[in-house]
Amino acid sequence: MATHWMIYGANGYTGHLLASEAKRQGLTPILAGRNPAAVHALGSLLGLECRIFDIHQPDRAKEALADIAVVAHCAGPFSATSAPMIDACLASATHYVDITGEISVFEAAHRRDQQAREQAVVVCPGVGFDVIPSDCLAACLHQALPDATHLALGFDSGSRLSPGTAKTSVEGLKLGGKVRRAGVITDVPLGYKRRAINFGRGEKPAVTIPWGDVSTAYHSTGIDNIEVYLPTPTAAAIVMRLIDPLRPLLGLDAVQNWLKRLIEKRVSGPDEATRARQRTWLWGEARNAAGVVKTARLETANGYDVTVHGALLAVRHLLDYNGPGGYFTPSKLLGARCVEQLPGSKAIRFD
């Protein structure tokens, strides 16, 4: 039985953090990716084995995963890389986790549920900040109000984006907003809804965003109406609505490439000291048809530390896993309060 595990995309910002923390904890992941120089440089630094392969070459990918029990997939954009890596994992009987936050990627992974069941392979995207903390809030709120019909989630963080996350955000501009309405993921304008929310450090104006929980919270709870909010100054929220008609222009290849080049020049992920200062506050609200409302809050470490420790929690769980295959959300695989096991996370509390 395969006992090795792999970080694919180990040379990226988050992959590097994950590899370093794994080594610090005495784990020995195999580092992998497409870039020989970058992957081998990290392997030499950490004293870890490396494998170079392109997931878009199916036979090579299947061969590279033949002795791998679990892949922690960290190579974005996941809209381009998740499906071929899941293909390779299903072909090699390797459990799959990733750190995506993209609604379309979650939904595509969910469509592989039956195939994953048949192959006894776990497919669990979003084992990082996207979406462990908010997924746990959703699951706990559903336990507290089982007949909830509406769910709102949100988070407040000052954390700076890594280059990969920034590029994913740029790709998402053309897609506009997303909410779940009557069970269906629905396109809405940028800045669709505004409300004042106390995420845990005072009330702030907030606006809906197309966050991954629009997909995952539904699969965790069955609640039909879901929105996710981010603190946004009122003026910025108004600008979002004003630029919404320009979204087709933001999707043009030339504009996308220009924005991504800017990111490469100007964006770098936060260093360790900065991450330590940047904690995150999460909020959730469930409401049923009778108007009963339950509210929960959670404080965690910064998003990147949550991602690293969340991915390691999932990997450790799957290295000892004897359960069925299929598509899972983090709360379904690891438990509704699994976030409380992560360093820097406090307990989920209800108002």
Q: Are residues 123 and 15 in the same domain?
A: yes
d(CA 338, CA 332): 10
Q: Are residues 313 and 294 in the same domain?
A: no
Task: Give this prediction's pTM.
Answer: 0.90
Q: Are residues 172 and 275 in the same domain?
A: yes
Q: What is the dihedral of CA 247, 253, 256, 262, to 10 degrees?
A: -150
pLDDT tops 80 at residue 246:
no
Q: Are residues 292 and 172 in the same domain?
A: yes
**Number of structural domains in the chain:** 2
pLDDT tops 80 at residue 10:
yes
Q: Are residues 293 and 317 in the same domain?
A: no
How large is the average pLDDT for residues 283-287?
Answer: 98
Q: Are residues 258 and 286 in the same domain?
A: yes
Q: Are residues 125 and 210 in the same domain?
A: no
Q: Are residues 81 and 147 in the same domain?
A: no
Q: Does residue 340 lie in a domain region?
A: no
Give kind and range of the element (H or E) at residue 109. helix 103-110
CB neighbours (10 Å) of residue 50? 18
Could you list the beta-strand ranges (E) of the chain. 4-8, 30-33, 50-52, 68-73, 95-98, 122-124, 148-157, 177-181, 184-188, 194-198, 203-208, 225-231, 280-288, 293-300, 326-327, 349-350
What pLDDT does residue 270 have?
62
Q: Does residue 80 lie in a domain region?
A: yes
pLDDT digits (tens, 9 = 90+) for 97-118: 999 999 999 999 999 999 999 9
Instruction: List the CATH number of the domain containing 282.
Output: 3.30.360.10
Q: Does residue 27 lie in a domain region?
A: yes
Yes or no: say if 203 and 154 are a contact pair by the CB < 8 Å rule.
no
Q: Are residues 165 and 69 in the same domain?
A: no
Q: Does residue 117 lie in a domain region?
A: yes
Least reliable range by pLDDT among 46-55, 180-189, 246-255, 320-329: 246-255
Instruction: List the CATH number of the domain containing 36.
Output: 3.40.50.720
Q: Are residues 144 and 256 in the same domain?
A: yes
Domain that holds residue 29: 4-129+304-334
Could you tell me the two tokens for 21?
């923390």
Q: Are residues 256 and 175 in the same domain?
A: yes
Q: Does residue 258 lie in a domain region?
A: yes
Query: Under the phi-then-psi rule, with left for phi > 0, alpha for psi from -120 to 50, and beta for the rest, what region is 185?
Result: beta
Comparing C-alpha atoms, which of 328, 327, 349, 350 is closest to residue 340?
349
pLDDT band at 167 (very low <50, low <70, confident <90, very high): low
